[in-house]
Amino acid sequence: MAERDADAPGDAPRGASSGAPTGSDARIADLIAAGPTLSVEFFPPKTDEGAEQLDRTVRELEPLSLSFVSVTYGAGGSTRDRTRDLVVRLNKEQGYPAMAHLTCVGSTRDELGGLLDDYDEHGVHDVLALAGDPPADGSSAGGDFTYALELVELVRERGPQFSVGVAAHPELHPRSTDRSSDRDHLAEKLRAADFGVTQFFFDADDYTSMLDDLARRDCTTPVLPGVMPLSNPAGIARMAEMSGASFPTGLAARVEAADGAERDRIVVESAAGLCRALLDAGAPGIHLYCLNRSPIVLAVAREIGLR
Ligand code: FAD
């Protein structure tokens, strides 16, 4: 179990419901069950300046008493050590659990098993089990894995101390051949996992119709919607193209045409509106893509009254 400062912010009750589990050793699956949760995604910084920015963001987000954070894993394991070090540090220093993203395509069972054992030793027990992407040039990735479900099974072999999340794509995975088989695979993966976290999307109907598709397959595993405030329309348009998500060109044009406080107002109101619609539709919490910055997250959280 990770050492913690008894005065860490997460030791205070958090979450909308009393009796919710607290502290960095709480399993995210249990936090979601007691939700609604509020969480953010970080990426491991590459530079000293980026590291300072992230430390500042972590401090600035403390008043939110976040339920948990997650840390991305660079394509093909390119950030393996930086992801690992950041997850272990946040889990130890903050009052919330930090979830490690982990991809399996191109890796061996021994490599990933060793990393999971290392996380276990350091008190990190929350993993987002992902396939990752095969090489763009169509060559073989090698390794022992093809699909994320196989990584879920590897984590499960470690024991019940781990809580496992998986990715969900409300607008279908970009490599899927058809809606029905994509949803079948998603339902099977979610049944093996504890919860899902979605790719970003901008229309609440995409989320609710995915849940309807899953319910028709008797899959009721909770799925947290991932919400991306449109603070950087050009960058997010590129990400949407890669991930197969629709892009709100009208909203992007309004953001681009504004500046300063007005631009922030449009970004916050649109993201908060989506969050409200999702919570009204029964979402078990909100996972915000924050790009390692705090101001928009703080404003959205205030708008939706989740903290
Ligand atoms: P899978 O669940 O394996 O699905 C991939 C495709 O295979 C889908 O089309 C699915 O329908 C199909 N499929 C699944 N099982 C079968 C089967 N048995 N037979 C045939 N087809 C099947 N990437 C990173 O590199 N690092 C990250 O940190 C990262 N974080 C992410 C976080 C979130 C919330 C999300 C939504 C995505 C993230 N990704 C990340 C991207 C992810 O790695 C890619 O989308 C990847 O292409 C697929 O991963 P997956 O886990 O959804 O794969």
Find the CATH number of the domain harbouring 229.
3.20.20.220
Q: Catalytic site residues?
A: 41
Instruction: Compute the distance from residue 168 Cα to the ligand 1 centre, in Å.
Output: 8
Which residue's CA is the closest to the ligand 1 atom numbered 16? 185
Residue 162 lies in a domain: yes
The reply to whether 6 falls in a domain is: no
Give 99-146 as a 3 state SS string. Answer: EEEEECCCCCHHHHHHHHHHHHHCCCCEEEEECCCCCCCCCCCCCCCC
37 neighbors 68 (Cβ within 8 angstroms): yes
Q: Which domain holds residue 122?
A: 28-304
Residue 111 tokens, joined: 């490599």
CA distances from 33 to 29, 36, 119, 128, 287 (A): 6, 8, 23, 17, 15
Please give the share of the chain, as a percent, with pLDDT higher than 70.
Answer: 93
CB 95, CB 9: distance < 8 Å: yes
Is residue 188 in some structural domain?
Answer: yes
Which residues make beta-bridge pairs with 40?
69, 288
| Residue 4 maps to a domain | no
Whether the per-residue pLDDT at 38 is higher than 90: the answer is yes
Ligand 1: residues within 6 Å at CB?
72-73, 75, 101, 103, 130-133, 147-149, 167, 173, 175-176, 182, 185, 189, 197-199, 226
The answer to the question of residue 11 being in a domain is: no
Of all residues in the chain, the percent with pLDDT exceeding 90 is 85
CA distance 48 to 51: 5
**How many domains does the chain fold into?**
1
Q: Which residues contact 135 (CB under 8 A, 6 or more apart)?
A: 76, 106, 141
Contact 158, 164 (CB under 8 A): no
Give pLDDT, residue 19.
55
Q: Does residue 47 fall inside a structural domain?
A: yes
- How do residues 228-257 score in pLDDT, each as one tens digit? 999 999 999 999 999 889 999 999 999 999
Tell me if 291 is assigned to some domain: yes
Residue 18 CB contacts under 8 Å (≥ 6 apart), including other chains: none
